């Protein structure tokens, strides 16, 4: 087996039998909504996977479970390496600037100042938003806020990157920059799981996993 083939089969994230039921109300009016019913998902090194499914099929729920934000009712998750997460709603502080966010996240990720500044400059260039470095987050447009959200998830160069609809609000140029960036991550052996609603994106993924009736199936 060549090195490339060997690395391609190394799982970096393995989720097995993930189940989740949301419960609302109190007896006798209690409602149950089983969203995930034994979902299996494996992400290999250097693989870009699209997670698709109709509205309400459980994509965000699964991603929140994978990052540990939400507890599953059953199942196991095995993660090898670091994890980056870009949620649908950015986790930012209104009064801080973009630069200040990078500084804060750099400390949280335990990067040295040099490492953080190098990555920060690269991400400003890759996503083309350096001119907003000193702008407070509550004064950014929705698209620029989405760029910052994505950049913060990438700052520590995670082995596995989970993105919940990252390009809602991106203009065409940014959308293409996003896919360039994802392509470079694939080449570097990093893995990305992207929740997507765009049929047109499906050929950009190595594999597409569809959630339906609580189960995950491979689309092609």
Ligand X SMILES: Nc1ncnc2c1ncn2[C@@H]1O[C@H](COP(=O)(O)OP(=O)(O)OP(=O)(O)O)[C@@H](O)[C@H]1O
Cβ proximity to ligand X: between 51 and 98 the closer is 51
Which residue in this structure is represented by tokens 């997507």?
196
**Separation of alpha carbons 77 and 65, rounded Å:** 9
Q: Is the peptide bond before 28 cis (omega within 30 degrees of 0)?
A: yes
Contact 113, 106 (CB under 8 A): yes
CB of 33 vs ligand X, minimal distance in Å: 6
For the CB of residue 159, give the shortest distance to ligand X in the complex, in Å: 24
Lay out the sheet containing 215-218: strands in order across. Answer: 83-86, 160-164, 191-195, 48-52, 207-212, 215-218
Long-range contacts of 25-33 (CB under 8 A, 24+ apart): none
Residue 76 interacts with ligand X (CB under 6 A): yes or no: no
Site string for ligand X, 1-40 (x = CB under 6 A): ---------------------x-x--------x-x-----
Q: Taking CB under 6 A as the rule, does residue 209 contact ligand X?
A: no
**Helix residue spans in the chain (DSSP H):** 3-8, 59-66, 98-108, 113-127, 142-154, 172-187
- The residue among 127 and 162 lying less far from ligand X, judged by its C-beta, is 162
Q: Is residue 196 within the footprint of ligand X (CB under 6 A)? A: no
Q: Candidates 52-60, 122-130, 145-153, 176-184 — which segment interacts with ligand X by CB under 6 A?
A: 52-60
Largest CA distance in the chain: 60
Assess 217 for contact with ligand X (CB under 6 A).
no
Based on the shown chain and the rule CB under 6 A, indicate whether residue 198 belongs to the binding site for ligand X: no
Identity of the residue, 22 or 93, whose beta carbon is nearer to ligand X in the bound complex: 22
Residue 203 binds to ligand X (criterion: CB under 6 A):
no
Q: Which residues bind ligand X (CB under 6 A)?
A: 22, 24, 33, 35, 53, 55-61
């Amino acid at each position: 087996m060549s090195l490339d083939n060997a690395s391609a089969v190394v799982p970096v994230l393995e989720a097995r039998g993930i189940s989740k039921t949301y419960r609302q109300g109190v007896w006798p009016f209690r409602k149950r909504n089983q969203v995930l019913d034994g979902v299996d998902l494996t992400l290999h090194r250097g693989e870009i996977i699209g997670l698709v499914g109709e509205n309400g099929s459980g994509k965000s729920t699964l991603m929140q479970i994978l990052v540990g934000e939400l507890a599953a009712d059953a199942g196991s998750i095995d993660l090898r390496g670091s994890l980056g997460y870009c949620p649908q709603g950015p986790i930012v502080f209104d009064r801080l600037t973009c630069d200040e966010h990078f500084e804060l996240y750099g400390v949280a990720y335990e990067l040295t100042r040099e490492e953080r500044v190098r990555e920060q400059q690269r991400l400003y260039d890759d996503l083309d938003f350096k001119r907003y470095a000193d702008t407070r987050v509550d004064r950014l447009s929705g698209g620029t806020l989405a760029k910052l959200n994505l950049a913060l998830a990438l700052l520590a160069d995670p082995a596995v990157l989970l993105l919940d609809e990252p390009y809602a609000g991106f203009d065409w140029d940014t959308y293409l920059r996003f896919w360039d960036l994802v392509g470079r991550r694939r080449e570097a052996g990093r893995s990305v799981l992207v929740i997507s609603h765009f049929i047109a994106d499906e050929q950009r993924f190595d594999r597409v996993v569809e959630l339906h009736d609580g189960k995950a199936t491979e689309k092609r």
